[in-house]
């Protein structure tokens, strides 16, 4: 998220304090990284993604940023800023959140010292919501079905060459049928979709698209490495997590020193990791990319829990796991459900789940199976009931 809170109204997410929460450094020049304690997961993740860049930098992959728009003056480090689309149609957009996401992932040549998570990617901007304070923003939110706009944004990104789609918003004000069709379109075109598992108010219904099949749902971590409840739900929707602590990027004024935190930078870490994997191993399916990210994460005790999913994303190990997946074909399952099955978290909250990290990492064939087949596998393994609930939330993982 942007720095600041998100309020909600009539099931729609509103961005509040967008400008007040954004901190612009007074000093010019490239900022130094903020001091962080040694147990800050962002410190470790920065080191890991730097190592990952020795293997892949995202070259040849376009990341679609579905957010508030991207400043047209942004120049990604090695890729290009492609012409995108505006699905909001309000004048004089500020384009703050989208610009921060775009420059965090792809960098900006105007600030060469600022690190980028995937410096080789191109950026495809898709404006799917206005900033707080944009002209007409209140009326737009009052009269717009945000789920419908997100669905259109996903379709646009898929149809215009995105390899990874970062959805910077969540909704619950619509049926899932159309969005699931858009996600199926993404899967068939080999596009990875990443979205935050963030609270959206009014009892916190499962956020879409993160709760739908085929989406990598991302949890947000606080500085101490635990789930940040303000920005991340405890539920089986979370596949992996990433730090949402203060993150520096380039703002729409073209200068560094902008800082944002919450679910948006967390989602960017995972989307960037997916882009690195896609650039190095373009033949992998979206489900295999998700598998590589899941099995390589820094697993919590027990291997999986509803707070952080399979753990903290690990870009360098995700590339190593992806290499293993590329070497072996996905084996068919007993039920005949192959590589075209859905994956991703279905809605629902669970207390905890135990997935052995060693088992996950050592599976000879992480294959895609139906939820029913996984339930049977869970019974064969005499798994606990809450373990089975977590397994059903990720039907692309098999214990065969």
Q: What is the mean pLDDT of residues 55-80?
A: 97
3-state secondary structure the chain: CCCCCEEEECCEEEECCHHHHCEECCCCCCCCCCCCCCCCHHHHHHHHHHHHCCCCCCCCCEEEEEECCCCCCCCCCCCCECCCEECCCCCCCCCHHHHHHHHHHHCCCCCCCCCCCCCCCEEEEEECCCCCCCCCHHHHHHHCCHHHHHHHHHHHHHHCCCCEEEECCCECCCCCHHHHHHHHHHHHCCCEEEEECCCCCCCCCCCECCCCCCEEEEEEECCCCCECCCCCCCCCCCCEEEECCCEEECCCCCCCCEEECCHHHHHHHHHHHHHHHHHHCCCCCHHHHHHHHHHHCECCCCEEECCCECCECCHHHHHHHHHHHHHCCCCCCCCCCCCCCCCCCCCCCCCCEECCHHHHHHCCCCCCCCHHHHHHHHHHCCCCHHHHHHHHHCCCCCCC
The architecture that CATH gives domain 6-319 is 3-Layer(aba) Sandwich (3.40)
Spatial separation of the C-alpha atoms in residues 312 and 49, rounded to whole Å: 13
400: pLDDT strictly greater than 90: no
What is the pLDDT, as a whole number, of residue 303?
Answer: 87
pLDDT band at residue 30 under the 50/70/90 scheme: very low
pLDDT band at residue 368 under the 50/70/90 scheme: very low
Sequence-distant (≥ 6) Cβ neighbours of residue 396 within 8 angstroms: 287, 290, 291, 341, 342, 343, 344, 366, 367, 368, 369
Chain segment 247-286, per-residue pLDDT in tens: 999 999 888 889 999 999 999 999 999 999 999 999 999 9
Chain segment 210-221, per-residue pLDDT in tens: 999 999 999 999
* Region of poorest pLDDT, from 10-24, 38-52, 222-236, 356-370: 10-24
Q: What is the mean pLDDT of residues 26-53?
A: 64
288: pLDDT strictly greater than 60: yes
Spatial separation of the C-alpha atoms in residues 219 and 240, rounded to whole Å: 6
* Region of poorest pLDDT, from 185-189, 199-203, 278-282, 284-288: 199-203
* Region of poorest pLDDT, from 119-123, 255-259, 311-315, 350-354: 350-354
Q: Where are the domains of the chain?
A: 6-319
Chain segment 303-348, per-residue pLDDT in tens: 899 999 999 999 999 999 999 998 876 543 332 223 333 344 444 4
What is the pLDDT, as a whole number, of residue 278?
Answer: 98
Q: 189-227 in b/e burial notation, b at 16+ Cβ within 10 A?
A: eebbbbbbbbbbbeeebbbbbbbbbbbbbbbbbbbebeb
Mean pLDDT of the chain: 79
293: pLDDT strictly greater than 60: yes
Q: Which of 52, 114, 3, 30 is nearest to 313 (CA)?
A: 52
pLDDT band at residue 201 under the 50/70/90 scheme: confident
Spatial separation of the C-alpha atoms in residues 375 and 116, rounded to whole Å: 41
Chain segment 133-172, per-residue pLDDT in tens: 999 999 999 999 999 999 999 999 999 999 999 999 999 9
Spatial separation of the C-alpha atoms in residues 50 and 57, rounded to whole Å: 10
234: pLDDT strictly greater than 50: yes
Spatial separation of the C-alpha atoms in residues 301 and 299, rounded to whole Å: 7
176: pLDDT strictly greater than 50: yes
What is the pLDDT, as a whole number, of residue 329?
Answer: 62
What is the pLDDT, as a whole number, of residue 204?
Answer: 79
Share above pLDDT 90 across residues of the chain, in percent, rounded to a whole number: 65
* Report field, pTM of the whole predicted structure over 0.85: no
**Residue predicted with more confidence, 357 or 253:** 253
pLDDT band at residue 31 under the 50/70/90 scheme: very low
């Amino acid at each position: 998220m942007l720095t600041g809170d998100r309020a909600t109204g009539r099931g729609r997410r509103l961005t509040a304090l967008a400008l007040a929460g954004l901190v612009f450094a007074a000093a010019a020049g490239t900022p130094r990284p903020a001091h962080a304690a040694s147990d800050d997961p962002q410190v470790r993740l920065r080191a890991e993604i730097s190592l990952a860049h020795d293997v892949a930098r995202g070259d040849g992959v376009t990341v679609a940023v579905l957010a508030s728009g991207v400043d047209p003056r942004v120049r990604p480090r090695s890729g290009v800023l492609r012409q995108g689309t505006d699905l909001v149609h309000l004048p004089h957009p500020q384009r703050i959140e989208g610009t921060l996401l775009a420059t965090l992932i792809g960098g900006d040549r105007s600030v060469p010292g600022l690190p980028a998570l995937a410096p080789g990617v191109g950026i495809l901007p898709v404006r799917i919501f206005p900033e707080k304070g944009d002209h007409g923003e209140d009326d737009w939110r009052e009269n717009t079905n945000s789920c419908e706009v997100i669905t259109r944004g996903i379709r646009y990104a898929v149809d215009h060459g995105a390899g990874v789609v970062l959805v910077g918003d969540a909704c619950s004000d619509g049926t899932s049928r159309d969005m699931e069709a858009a996600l199926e379109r993404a899967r068939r075109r080999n596009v990875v979709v990443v979205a935050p598992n963030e609270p959206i108010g009014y009892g916190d219904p499962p956020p879409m698209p993160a709760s739908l099949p085929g989406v990598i749902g991302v949890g947000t971590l606080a500085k101490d490495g635990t789930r940040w409840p303000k920005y991340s739900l405890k539920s089986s929707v979370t596949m992996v997590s990433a730090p949402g602590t203060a993150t520096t990027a380039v703002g729409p004024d073209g200068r560094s020193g902008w800082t944002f935190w919450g679910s948006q930078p967390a989602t960017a870490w995972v989307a960037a990791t997916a882009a690195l994997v896609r650039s190095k191993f373009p033949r992998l399916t979206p489900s295999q990319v998700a598998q590589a990210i899941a099995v390589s994460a820094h697993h919590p005790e027990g291997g999986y829990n509803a707070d952080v999913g399979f753990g903290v994303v690990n870009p360098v190990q995700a590339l190593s796991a992806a290499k293993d997946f590329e070497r072996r074909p996905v084996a068919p399952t007993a039920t005949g459900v192959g590589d075209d099955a859905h994956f991703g978290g279905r809605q629902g909250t669970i207390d905890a789940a135990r997935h052995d990290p060693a088992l996950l990492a050592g599976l000879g064939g992480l294959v895609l199976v139906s939820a029913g087949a996984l339930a049977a596998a869970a019974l064969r393994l005499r798994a606990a009931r809450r373990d089975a609930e977590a397994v059903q939330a990720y039907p692309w993982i098999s214990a065969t």
